[in-house]
Structure 1
Amino acid sequence: MTLEILKEKQELRDLIDNYAYLSDEWKIAEVMQLFAEDVTYKVYMGGNLVADVSGRDNMERDFNMHAAQVKTYFTLNGQHTVNIDGDTARGISFSQIKMVREVEGKDILSDYSVKCEDYYVKREGKWVIKDRVGHFLIIESRPFNG
């Protein structure tokens, strides 16, 4: 493995981690800069397609709507594997996402185990996510006594 490939892999890992950091801090406009303008984003829960968004503007609107319903986010990234082919790459990453929402006056903690399949492109010297498919594999909700 060359030094250049290691550098590219680190940049892609940083992209995934920055997505988590910025999302947890509700910096949605900054999160959107991590995606290509012509992004596609699909979400599956329990094997069912629950979201299918095209374009960064539409995605930003959806993210803001969702974030308005959440009191606290916490994301922990795990494995991240990528295969780089010039200015494109494919990757798989795993995350644990926790969200606290208020439901009927009570705080509810939702805990998600997520696998993301990404297609990355390098544009103007910077890696961005062009296509993402999120698979919410395990979903658990319970009262939060935090």
Structure 2
Amino acid sequence: MTLEILKTKEALRNLIDDYASLGDEKKISEQMDLFTSDLTYKVFMEGNLVADVSGREKMERDFNLHSSQVKTYFTLNGQHFVTINEGTATGISFSQIKMIRKADGKDILTDYSVKYEDFYIHQNEKWFIKDRIAHFLIVESKTIAND
């Protein structure tokens, strides 16, 4: 494995970690900077397509709406596998996402186990996510004690 491939793998790993960290902090505008302007983002739950967004502006609106309904996010990234080509790459990554929302005066914790399929593009000396497919494989919700 060459030094260049190792640097690319690190840059791509940083990209998905930045995506998670910025989302957890609700820094949606900065999170959108990780994507190409012509991005596509699809979400599947139980094998069914539940969201299909094209373009950074539409995605930013959708993410802002979603984050306004969430008190707290916490994301933990796991495995990340990439295949690198010249100027492009594909990747599969796994994340555990926890979200706390308020419903009927109670805090509801929803725990998501997610597999992402990504297509990355290298532009202007930087890697971006062009296409992302999120497969929400396990979804669990429960009421938690309010502090």
What is the CA-CA distance between 1:111 and the residue it aligns to? 0.1
The answer for the alignment partner of 1:97 in structure 2 is 97
What is the CA-CA distance between 1:104 and the residue it aligns to? 1.3
The answer for the alignment partner of 2:57 in structure 1 is 57
The answer for the alignment partner of 1:45 in structure 2 is 45
The answer for the alignment partner of 1:86 in structure 2 is 86
RMSD: 0.6
The answer for the alignment partner of 1:74 in structure 2 is 74
> How many residues were matched structurally?
146
Superposed counterparts of 1:1-146, under 5 Å:
1-145=1-145
What percentage of aligned pairs have identical amino acids? 67
What is the CA-CA distance between 1:45 and the residue it aligns to? 0.6
Provide Cα deviations, 1:9-38, integer angstroms capped at 9, x if missing partner: 000000000001110000000000000000
Structure 1 distance, partners of 2:84, 2:49, is 28
What is the CA-CA distance between 1:105 and the residue it aligns to? 1.2
Structure 1 distance, partners of 2:80, 2:50, is 24
Structure 2 distance, partners of 1:103, 1:127, is 38
Structure 2 distance, partners of 1:125, 1:114, is 29
Structure 1 distance, partners of 2:37, 2:125, is 15
SS in 2 for 1:70: coil
SS in 2 for 1:26: coil
The residue type equivalent to 1:122 in the other structure is H
Structure 1 distance, partners of 2:111, 2:73, is 10
Structure 1 distance, partners of 2:42, 2:96, is 18
Structure 2 distance, partners of 1:48, 1:144, is 28
Structure 2 distance, partners of 1:144, 1:133, is 30
Structure 1 distance, partners of 2:124, 2:104, is 47
Q: Structure 2: any 5+ residue segments left out of the alignment?
A: none
TM-score, with length taken from structure 2? 0.98
Moved over 4 A (4+): none
